[in-house]
Chains A and B, each alone.
Chain A
Amino acid sequence: QPVLTQSSSASASLGSSVKLTCTLSSGHSSYIIAWHQQQPGKAPRYLMKLEGSGSYNKGSGVPDRFSGSSSGADRYLTISNLQSEDEADYYCETWDSNTQVFGGGTKLTVL
């Protein structure tokens, strides 16, 4: 089954941009993933679905500041013009016909 690897933490300054990475395991580089945001004390929120081509489809109400891109087995979430409310945990997720898998999550700190 696929495995997703994320850095445990990241930080960036208010108003700047940050790029979070989710890496698919060997043999699964073509998989579609989803990105989710989890603010402190809240349920996860779906951000977007991201294909290996780099094409992405955002959820309802997700700001334009959030975008996705891909390179090989890596899937990226870029947040531009960072706001304080972007401080959260970010999880990637993938799936196939038998399973769903989450990455370990990246804790984003907005400085």
Chain B
Amino acid sequence: DVKVTQSSRYLVKRTGEKVFLECVQDMDHENMFWYRQDPGLGLRLIYFSYDVKMKEKGDIPEGYSVSREKKERFSLILESASTNQTSMYLCASSAGTGYSNQPQHFGDGTRLSIL
């Protein structure tokens, strides 16, 4: 089975802190994604990566950065946390390059609260 592991299920941080969310997948997938999910807004893509050291902005990259130094690990960084970044953060991975029908597999999510 595909396993996508997020480092924390729940996290509480303070405004202005630098926050690191870690994600590891064990299926040698090329693609990795960071989403946030908010009530009434659905899934929104923050960043994705289709290869090591490669990254692309999603719909809402402002206030976030990412790092992919190894194929299995994709980190999301909140440079200076703000209260409007309180959300459920979801990491996903998928196989394939170019045109692929392979599904995305998600982690259990990190519920982040910024006080």
Do chains A and B stick together as partners?
no
